[in-house]
Amino acid sequence: MSAITIFGKGNMGQSIGDVFKQGGNQVSFIDSADPVENLGSIVVLAVPYNAALSIAKANQAALAGKIVIDITNPLSFETWDELVVPADSSAAAQIAALLPESKVIKGFNTTFAATLQNRKVGDQAQTTVMAAGDDADAKQAFADALTDSGVAFVDAGSLKRARELESFGFLQMTLAANEKIGWTGGFGVLK
């Protein structure tokens, strides 16, 4: 069992919390009005990209030594036509640069809240959480926290793969926003 703190109480934060709770973990939530203290060993940034950057900047000491999961897809919400991070980087890499004492993992950004709640993509495939990060032990702790949660886990490689995960998440979001797929749909990973 892991102690997990989730920044953000929106649809994604609540759905991620439910997944972790089903996995037998202790979950607490924090929002912008709450003091940042007594954080769990795993901290999830279930907030928009700019808010995640602000949290990282303001809480470097509190997040030191923690596994920090960045769920953001850093797209331009004005145009819905581009990612706002440099082409050779990712939101996760930007957050990792702000948190050198933390173990940053990209995760949950290729799932929708509804697919986390249902544990399925449409009615076809089990929801899969893909994760990219440079610390193998941190990724294993993340995978362990998802055991018995009803979702699958795939190690997508180093933190460099976060860029591809963010592009993948961006494509999925634009397809849903343009009603090409539903918010209960998306991409499934079949083994």
pTM (2 d.p.): 0.96
4: β partners = 27, 42
- Alpha-carbon distances, residue 99 vs 34, 87, 172 (angstroms): 20, 21, 28
d(CA 37, CA 120): 34
Q: DSSP H helical segments within the chain, as ranges?
A: 11-22, 49-58, 60-63, 91-98, 113-118, 136-145, 162-177
- pLDDT tens, residue order, the chain (191 aa): 899 999 999 999 999 999 999 999 999 999 877 889 899 999 999 999 999 999 999 999 999 999 999 999 999 888 889 999 999 999 999 999 999 999 999 999 999 999 999 999 988 789 999 999 999 999 999 999 999 999 999 999 999 999 999 999 999 999 999 999 999 988 888 77
